[in-house]
Amino acid sequence: MSEKLEKQGPQGAAAPEGDVPVARTQDDPTGRVCQWEEDGCTVLRTNARTGPGCHDNCGVLMYVRDGVLEKIEGDPENPYNQGRLCPRCLAFKEMLYHEDRLKYPLKRAKEDRGKNAFTRISWDEAYDIIEREMKAVIDEYGNEAIWVTQGTGRDINGYGPLMAQYLGTPNYGTGFLSGIACYGPRIFSTALKSGGLFVCDYSQFFPDRYDDPRWEAPEYILVWGNNPVVANSDGTLGHWVVESMKRGSKLIVMDPTLTWLAGKADVWFQLRPGTDAALALALCDQIIKDDLYDHEFVSCWCYGFDEFAEHVSQYPVSFAAETCGVPEDLIVEAARKIGRAKSCCLQWGVAMDHTSEGFITGMACFDLMALTGNFENPGGMLAADPAFGMSVTWSPRGSVWDECSEPIPHPERKNHGGYKALEAMNGISPDALLEAMETGEPYPIKAMFMMQNNAIACMGAQPQRILPALQKMEFNVVVDLFLTPTALACADVLLPAACFAERIGITGHQPYALGAIAQAVEPLGECKSDQRIIYELGDRFAGRDHRPWDSEQDFYDYLLRSTGFTYDSLKERAWAYPEFEYKKYEKGLLRPDGTPGFATSTGRYNFYCAEMAYFGFSPFATYEEPPESPVSAPELAEKYPLVLTTGARKWGFFHSEHRQSPSMRRLHPEPEFLVHPETAAAYGIADGDWCTISNNLGSARLRAHTTVRIRKDTVSADHGWWFPERGPEDGTLFGTLESNINQLVPMRPGKSGLGASYKSQLCRIDKIEE
């Protein structure tokens, strides 16, 4: 262990001159056993994490016999999931031990891109090639000519930026996700409105969960463009919604499809995709007209209410009813339910972000929470800061670097595409970066480092543009579990990553709790964790002396140094819950200066948002039609009359993952789209028919699944499809462009640079005559 880390105090926390941080927790780990023997197996109590992908960290029991993972079960004692596991964790072994797993570093000649012509190499040789090629790109074009990309959530979120730091590039972000449209728009809109991120209160901040006397179930949960029982998205477990319902919570659901939760809702808005902001603004207007808003919260803690009330009067229920295609009286009913509820929370999903002006849609929905005073109250919206204040975000010059010997130089010239909002949030524009790859403007992108990201099969809109752009790069690195279409198309060096059972780690830095990931089995072949790959490669660019950690365990001790834990002390208890209190804005716990209020420029919740005016937008949330809709583009709609929403999550797949897992594939054997039987009949399509879905941008081949659950004017298509069973030899990149619905989605954000069109395009459907 390095000298610096040896100086840590008894709990392993950094000990700057005797000042040892002590973790103040709510839960008592006495008697919590984290490893035992059972029927010849060693059982480890720990937490799941990626890979394969997920947004959560459920508590698991891993049963290991003779070094082999025999089974995985939900840990009934872990407050997070209380024993539940979804199908993907139950089938985890099928991914862990899949014969197609990458096991060794591979290289391939540039002229063989697209061909299965890889050669096994050592890690040293892989690092040598990456060092040589990346330095060549840096010398000729500058550091900013490298784009480091990541996929969603997974375990990369905190660590990916570190790779970009090592390569000295400011261009780091999600790989080809148009408009950073996964939580990005919602996170940034809530930051401007309220100074932070807030999540629904399902008691997840308490280790005794629903039994905690401080907690009350939300009276209403607005499930808005989200399907948490399937997706468990953004660190919310769907079971929490169900458990809250058992304790009295009622639902209002906004979804063009009748989901399982919509079927249990008091009110279900089967709205036209992309029109959510109109509904949110009309709900606000109705609540104000009925005088059901929270006068005290609004007058003490909000900014710009009177003008806001005036502003939303432009969006009466009649307007929303017509725009969204929902009954007027249902909007009035829902507004009264929300306005009169003791508590209400917003369980929102990525459907917000996946419309062109999703950034503003998020603001409109969030305003509803402020209007009804649902902040920091039991059953309302709670601030979501990292547990124990742990920072793993390797931003340039961030405090996470404090103990490193040489600060990594801070790169400039981030490509935010000229969008002021993106510049303010220090974000890149994937849309502008794709253009830079294609055109060399404003400066060229010449190399890609892609980690946990299968861009052409899933994340990227218009993969037909991304594929040639990747193939003309001077150098590409891919780090993955499998040979994906993206890796096959473009990787020059392909590195094998470890699954969570094969490595140590810590959980996803969520607000509720911190946990350790224990290693259950040896990695397959020579797989390594992404974290280790990053810092070992970092030595080639920043020098071995730059880091005070020697091993992965050291690395986590370093990251945990201000929390009061070491990796071992966390592993011994599996999880730890920090202290928690409600009403933090009243107690000065939200603002860095310790004064009451919200961490915004005004100190209040901003109905009027001055930053928006600075970016050139209305300071209030507004409604705008998606650019391609039956209303905004009637001529296009004549040719492509149906509204297309895509990517509603499936139980068995995490995006383009799990297509190799036999039991997950049995759940979803083929790519399909939902269509109303009457609509299907009008086009001569029967359930199960293979069809072409097409529009002005492209087409994809999927199977019709007729169901009355969906709006008659809308089809909902799967995303992320490729066919690993075809093998890498047939020249089709595992058929990745055959059924890829993103060929119909433009790589084009909203006016702010945020927001996309994955959930609001136009299309037509035609039966394929076989």
Ligand X SMILES: Nc1nc2c(c(=O)[nH]1)N[C@H]1C(S)=C(S)[C@@H](COP(=O)(O)OP(=O)(O)OC[C@H]3O[C@@H](n4cnc5c(=O)[nH]c(N)nc54)[C@H](O)[C@@H]3O)O[C@H]1N2
Q: Which stretch binds ligand SF4 (CB under 6 A): 85-93, 380-388, 407-415, 756-764?
A: 85-93
Structure tokens, 758: 């994955």
**Residue placing its CB nearer to ligand X in the complex, 400 or 488:** 488
Q: How far is the CB of 650 from ligand SF4 (least distance, A)?
A: 12
Closest CA to 578 of 562, 594, 591, 593: 562
Closest CA to 479 of 430, 534, 553: 534
515-554: contacts with ligand X (CB under 6 A)? 530
14-53: contacts with ligand X (CB under 6 A)? 50-53
CA 431 to CA 175: how far, in whole Å?
Answer: 10
Q: How far is the CB of 55 from Mo ion (least distance, A)?
A: 8
Binding ligand SF4 (rule: CB under 6 A), the pick from 14, 34, 48, 371 is: 48
* Residue 233 in contact with ligand X, rule: CB under 6 A: yes
- What sections of 544-674 are H helices per DSSP? 552-559, 567-571, 610-615, 634-639, 662-667
Q: How far is the CB of 52 from ligand SF4 (least distance, A)?
A: 8
**Residue placing its CB nearer to ligand X in the complex, 452 or 563:** 452
CA 484 to CA 721: how far, in whole Å?
Answer: 11
DSSP 257: B
Give the pairing type, strands 642-646 and 690-694. Answer: unpaired
* Residue 152 in contact with Mo ion, rule: CB under 5 A: yes
Give the pairing type, strands 514-517 and 475-480. Answer: unpaired
Number of C-alpha atoms within 13 angstroms, CB side, residue 353?
22
Instruction: Kindly determine how many residues on this chain lie close enough to bind ligand X according to the rule CB under 6 A.
Output: 69
CA 218 to CA 344: how far, in whole Å?
Answer: 5
Q: How far is the CB of 254 from ligand X (least distance, A)?
A: 4
Binding Mo ion (rule: CB under 5 A), the pick from 13, 138, 182, 288 is: 182
**Residue placing its CB nearer to ligand X in the complex, 82 or 716:** 716
Binding ligand SF4 (rule: CB under 6 A), the pick from 23, 41, 44, 86 is: 86
Q: How far is the CB of 256 from ligand X (least distance, A)?
A: 5
Binding mask 172-191 for ligand X (x = CB under 6 A): ---x-x----x---------
CA 224 to CA 232: how far, in whole Å?
Answer: 14
User: Strands, DSSP E only, in 521-615?
Assistant: 575-576, 605-606
Binding mask 294-333 for ligand X (x = CB under 6 A): ----------------------------------------
* Residue 646 in contact with ligand SF4, rule: CB under 6 A: no
CA dist list (Å): 669 to 52, 650, 665, 718, 722:
19, 12, 5, 12, 11
325-364: contacts with ligand SF4 (CB under 6 A)? none
Q: How far is the CB of 643 from ligand X (least distance, A)?
A: 9
Q: How far is the CB of 765 from ligand SF4 (least distance, A)?
A: 32
Backbone angles phi, psi at 162, to 5 degrees: -65, -40
**Residue placing its CB nearer to Mo ion in the complex, 182 or 222:** 182
Q: Which stretch binds ligand SF4 (CB under 6 A): 50-58, 278-286, 415-423, 441-449?
A: 50-58
**Residue placing its CB nearer to ligand SF4 in the complex, 86 or 455:** 86
- What sections of 389-499 are H helices per DSSP? 420-424, 430-439, 463-471, 485-490
Q: How many CB atoms lie within 10 A of CB 331?
A: 25
Structure tokens, 742: 């993103």
Q: How far is the CB of 629 from ligand SF4 (least distance, A)?
A: 34
**Residue placing its CB nearer to ligand SF4 in the complex, 77 or 766:** 77
* Residue 69 in contact with ligand SF4, rule: CB under 6 A: no
What's CA 313's distance to the chain center, in Å? 34
What's CA 666's distance to the chain center, in Å? 26
Binding mask 560-599 for Mo ion (x = CB under 5 A): ----------------------------------------
Which residues, 6+ apart, have CB-to-CB distance to 681 below 8 Å? Answer: none
Largest CA distance in the chain: 77
Q: How far is the CB of 572 from ligand SF4 (least distance, A)?
A: 21
Report helix, strand or coil for 119: strand
* Residue 54 in contact with ligand SF4, rule: CB under 6 A: yes
**Residue placing its CB nearer to ligand SF4 in the complex, 46 or 372:** 46
198-257: contacts with ligand SF4 (CB under 6 A)? 232
* Residue 743 in contact with ligand X, rule: CB under 6 A: no
CA 27 to CA 658: how far, in whole Å?
Answer: 35
Q: How many CB atoms lie within 10 A of CB 614?
A: 12
CA 98 to CA 693: how far, in whole Å?
Answer: 33
Which residues, 6+ apart, have CB-to-CB distance to 756 below 8 Å? Answer: 177, 178, 179, 181, 353, 354, 355, 356, 358, 461, 745, 748, 749, 750
* Residue 486 in contact with ligand SF4, rule: CB under 6 A: no
Q: How far is the CB of 350 from Mo ion (least distance, A)?
A: 5
* Residue 85 in contact with ligand SF4, rule: CB under 6 A: yes
Binding ligand X (rule: CB under 6 A), the pick from 250, 649, 705, 711 is: 649
Report helix, strand or coil for 95: helix
**Residue placing its CB nearer to Mo ion in the complex, 157 or 714:** 157
Residues that bind ligand SF4 (CB under 6 A): 48, 54, 56, 58, 81, 85-86, 88-89, 232
- The footprint of ligand X (CB under 6 A) covers 50-53, 55, 151-155, 175, 177, 182, 224-227, 230-233, 254-257, 259, 271, 273-274, 276, 349-351, 354, 451-454, 457-459, 479-482, 484, 497, 530, 645-651, 653-657, 716, 719-720, 741-742, 745, 758-760
Which residues are at the interface with Mo ion (CB under 5 A)?
A: 152, 182
